[in-house]
């Protein structure tokens, strides 16, 4: 990718060259051979289109649930969270009506806390005895202490793992195969 030092006469694509602006600077690159038609029809992008169709359905479901919420609860982060949960339940082959009812019951009743959880390092990185962590000056650094995760998070992870194992053993066909390559 080449960088322009002056302002070009245009931005766009001419022949095999594409000129564009990013972060206040102008760049030039070769044109991509990838087209929208190829992404939609080529078998190499089957999973991309499968997840795109699921995301479209999940977005419509989340929009319906989001519209039912009172104004003081509406936040864009909540809409994204609803879309993600709807997509998860669509993968588990739930019906749209059931997902809407579940999400409305789950998010419509109580106050919603949207703060991201703190990043928890589950264990210290493994190093051989000969390999010690050193800072920039070459001084040894003490390893990171392990932090225990809360019991409710441990139980949630265990139940989710067991549910997915049982579900994947029972599944024989994928529900989204009808949307691929249409």
Report which of 29, 34, 27, 25 is spatially closest to residue 15, judged by C-alpha positions.
29
pTM: predicted TM-score of the whole model, two decimal places: 0.49
What was the pLDDT predicted at 168?
A: 73
| Low-confidence spans in the chain with pLDDT less than 70 | 1, 4, 109-136, 138, 140-147, 171-182
End-to-end CA distance of the chain: 36
pLDDT digits 0-9 by tens, 110-163: 544 545 556 665 565 555 555 555 666 767 666 555 667 788 888 888 888 887
Buried b vs exposed e over 72-86: b needs ≥16 C-beta within 10 Å? eeeeeebbebbbebb
What was the pLDDT predicted at 171?
A: 67
What was the pLDDT predicted at 111?
A: 47
């Amino acid at each position: 990718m080449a960088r322009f030092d002056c302002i070009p006469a245009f931005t766009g694509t001419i022949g095999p060259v594409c000129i564009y602006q990013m972060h206040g600077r102008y760049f030039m690159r070769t044109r991509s051979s990838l087209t929208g038609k190829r992404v939609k029809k080529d078998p190499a992008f089957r999973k991309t289109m499968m997840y795109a169709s699921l995301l479209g359905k999940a977005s419509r479901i989340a929009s319906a649930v989001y519209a039912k919420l009172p104004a003081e609860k509406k936040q864009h982060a909540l809409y994204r969270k609803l879309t993600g949960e709807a997509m998860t339940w669509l993968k588990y082959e739930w019906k749209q009506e059931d997902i809407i009812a579940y999400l409305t019951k789950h998010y419509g009743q109580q106050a919603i806390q949207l703060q991201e959880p703190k990043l928890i390092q589950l264990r210290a990185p493994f190093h051989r005895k000969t390999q010690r962590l050193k800072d920039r000056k070459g001084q040894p650094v003490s390893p990171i202490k392990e932090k225990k995760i809360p019991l409710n998070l441990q139980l949630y992870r265990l139940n989710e793992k067991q549910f997915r194992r049982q579900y994947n053993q029972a599944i024989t066909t994928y529900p989204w195969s009808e949307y691929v390559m249409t």
